[in-house]
Structure 1
């Protein structure tokens, strides 16, 4: 069963870690957020909203449709005056027009039935000259094989039905570019990013993380016995007694208003 983002029991699913240095470097190569206003749409537990603030953004507002996620994000960032969180939809954020210099959406668009409405809302929220930055996986990102660094590939190797779920809900790069252009964005560009998700000190630590299904909504499609089988498959392919650096490949798209 897919994750219920509104369930208070899942409120910490997308919190409790920090954005990686490779994500920060990639973003810094696209835009300098120092002194700018950022709207993080689909902010989840606030991991990346906090990262934008740490990169020097003057003000960051995170928007998520889940009250539980918004509450978790606010708690995790209590006492940071340049960070705020509110409940809202991707196509109806409730933010004022022209109130942001950067609109960011990570791991959001594959959940949306109407991406065009989300991009039109980003256009509305952005000030003239503002940047829309979207991060998600494409079918090409998903198709990469499993390896000790790319553990996600093993998910689909063991359970091809998970690959079918992912392929069915992830737009290809050209489609996203067309939809951004249709919303009015110009100078659209795209690149790929290998983002470190987490460093696991041991195979046992990785197994515990996978069993917790933290931040991996696709694994909510598996039963507990299936999840155990996947963990065994992965551990059999990892070097013994060595730290594990888990990385995922993403695509980044951006364009200007």
Structure 2
């Protein structure tokens, strides 16, 4: 996609080496319409962005959104005062949806690419954001090295993931993924030199039907039906970790 502003274009020519194969994300890849409903219901109060802004202001920043999906967060970041916003997404159908979303928005662009090989120049962004894109810690080191490469000195990288040690959603997650080791994940991020902000956000929807549809793309069928049998209403408290590192 061509740049939409007169600002610096951080893209580089296509690499000659084979592009890394992305990890499949069945929820958004297979159900983008339902995932849109989920995005609308996650953190309506904007606690995640507020915590990010307290560590690195958005105003005047060049921002990278890794694994931007359908580009849901790109307009939001632009509205917070970023000079430029670029979303990177490996799945072509989602790239097309993201391009449609940001069409005509100055300073906002979407590129196809993988976290392990970002199609960006060195030291070209001030803020990097990845929401549930580095979910399990160990194994994402190539992507973290790429974040270090593209961030300017003084820039900050943010990774948002689940905190299964707290909240109702965390309890559901732990029950569904008993092999997940939050202590090992915490140690991984500490070894990489990252810090953490603990947040509890709302995961709430306009109707019970929306809640049920989202739950069914986030949990296996048996687990989802069990949760729906025990939980009334259309929302729940949801603990997340905001991992961050300043470079």
Q: TM-score range by the shorter chain?
A: 0.7 to 0.9
* CA positional deviation for 1:13: 4.2
| Partner in structure 2 of residue 28 of structure 1 | 53
Q: Is the 8 Å Cα contact of residues 45 and 69 (structure 1) preserved in structure 2?
A: yes
Query: Does 2:38 correspond to 1:38?
Result: no
* CA positional deviation for 1:80: 1.5
Q: Matched residues in 2 for 1:55 and 1:80: separation?
A: 14
| Partner in structure 2 of residue 241 of structure 1 | none
Tell me, which stretches of 5 or more residues in structure 1 are unaligned?
Answer: 147-151, 182-187, 239-243
Q: Matched residues in 1 for 2:238 and 2:27: separation?
A: 22
Query: Does 2:91 correspond to 1:66?
Result: yes
- Residue 193 and residue 42 in structure 1: after superposition, are their counterparts in 2 closer, same or farther (change >3 A)? same
- Out of 136, 160, 164, the position equivalent to 1:135 is 160
Per-residue deviation, residues 74-112 of structure 1 (Å, max 9, x unmatched): 222322122211111111111121111111111111267
Per-residue deviation, residues 14-66 of structure 1 (Å, max 9, x unmatched): 43545632223222211111111001111122222222112111111111111
- Out of 165, 172, 188, the position equivalent to 1:155 is 172
* CA positional deviation for 1:4: 2.6
Q: Is the 8 Å Cα contact of residues 66 and 129 (structure 2) preserved in structure 1?
A: yes
Query: Does 2:173 correspond to 1:164?
Result: no
* Secondary structure, counterpart of 1:15 in structure 2: helix
TM (norm. structure 2) is: 0.76
Q: Is the 8 Å Cα contact of residues 92 and 121 (structure 1) preserved in structure 2?
A: yes
| Partner in structure 1 of residue 238 of structure 2 | 248
Write out aligned runs for 1:182-193 (5 A). Answer: 188-193=194-199
Q: Matched residues in 2 for 1:79 and 1:170: separation?
A: 44
RMSD: 2.8
TM (norm. structure 1) is: 0.73
How many residues of Structure 1 are paired with residues of Structure 2 in the alignment? 220
- Out of 182, 201, 204, the position equivalent to 1:198 is 204
